[in-house]
Structure 1
């Protein structure tokens, strides 16, 4: 079902979301106080307007109350981010996602009613750090404060062994939820099948357990 979105703040993060949503055929209202940024998205978003998102009357005139999901991606101006979120919560928007600059900012956003708070720089830093640890770690996604999901390319220590042989759940407390083989994803992998060189394991678990799994089984010596 086609949904309506608004992206407030058209910097690198907000601009990227705006482009992707537009490419997926969604109706996107792009808002920024900077005229140059708005002009950049006039031919990308459904509507692109110059506006001060902290002004309640302005947002009301733009019909923000009719938007299903508003993403507040304001850059360095934490005050503007907080005031915008307050206005949106007063409007009873169905879903509000806000970019946080730091943990203190996140605490405030959660208290004033943001539905989802994201840390794009922090999360990307975690992904890159795990990739630096080993080329076999392809992706890393935080699910909560202490649980994550990781994509792991089968390395030398796992090659030719089965899930029974590795016994990842018993040894490391993690669960292999799927195995990617080329374009195919097997969500019910056979415990007896031998792992091949190009296989990718999708593993979920507590961060401390995933860390042990990475250090002992993923990182090649």
Structure 2
């Protein structure tokens, strides 16, 4: 069943979020102060409104208080608007508020006024790039609390062996969640699944554990 989302702020990140949600079949309302940005995306979402998200009356008239989730992606040139918008969404009782931050201080303020989740896309992309430069065998990663979910190229010596032979959980203290093999994804592989050259492991573990595994490549 489709949920109702409001995306506030149509920079590159906001447009990307709105378009992807709509492509996934969700009902998306977008709000931005720039008429041109609204015009460019209007035919791709359920509703696009040129308005001021720091105005409580505007948010109420648009029915934002009944939305399943609000995503605030207002850019660095309008930090006050970003904070005020999150505070208003919190007062309106929106059950899930996700906000984009530009630095750690901004993130702390956003959380203090009601954001449930705070993202810093630029910092996260920088961290991923740095990790890839130092540990190229780690294709991608996502932080999950104290653990990370990462894609790691299999070491050459793993090819032809299975999970039972390698005992990866015990040796490296990571859980193998899936194996990516070409265009296939083998979720929850069995202990008898034999690794092939070029396989990519999707593993869950601490940063140190994943790093130790990647060093075997």
Q: Distance in 1 between matches of 2:160 and 2:42?
A: 53
| 1:135 to 1:157, Cα distance in 2 relative to 1, 3 A | farther
| 1:188 to 1:7, Cα distance in 2 relative to 1, 3 A | closer
Stretches of structure 2 lacking an aligned partner (at least 5 in a row) = none
- The offset of 1:85, in angstroms, is 0.4
Alignment of 1:69-148 (within 5 A): 69-76=69-76, 77-144=78-145, 146-148=146-148
- The offset of 1:141, in angstroms, is 1.1
Aligned residues of 2:139 and 2:153 also touching (Cα < 8 A): yes
Range moving further from structure 2, 52-61 or 186-195? 186-195
Q: Distance in 2 between matches of 1:22 and 1:197?
A: 37
State the match for 2:181 in structure 1. 181
CA offsets, 1:99-156, max 9 Å, x none? 1111222222222221211121122222223333354322211112x31111122242
Stretches of structure 1 lacking an aligned partner (at least 5 in a row) = none
SS in 1 for 2:43: coil
TM-score calculated relative to the size of structure 1? 0.88
Q: Distance in 2 between matches of 1:95 and 1:138?
A: 30
Aligned residues of 2:178 and 2:186 also touching (Cα < 8 A): yes
Q: Distance in 2 between matches of 1:136 and 1:209?
A: 14
Q: Distance in 1 between matches of 2:174 and 2:48?
A: 45
Q: Distance in 1 between matches of 2:189 and 2:8?
A: 42
State the match for 2:45 in structure 1. 45
Q: Distance in 2 between matches of 1:120 and 1:167?
A: 35
Matched residue pairs, number? Answer: 216
| 1:73 to 1:208, Cα distance in 2 relative to 1, 3 A | same
SS in 1 for 2:45: coil
Q: Distance in 1 between matches of 2:151 and 2:188?
A: 16
Range moving further from structure 2, 84-93 or 121-130? 121-130
Aligned residues of 1:11 and 1:74 also touching (Cα < 8 A): yes
Q: Distance in 2 between matches of 1:193 and 1:37?
A: 49
Range moving further from structure 2, 8-17 or 116-125? 116-125
State the match for 2:21 in structure 1. 21
TM-score calculated relative to the size of structure 2? 0.90
Alignment of 1:133-212 (within 5 A): 133-144=134-145, 146-212=146-212
SS in 2 for 1:130: helix
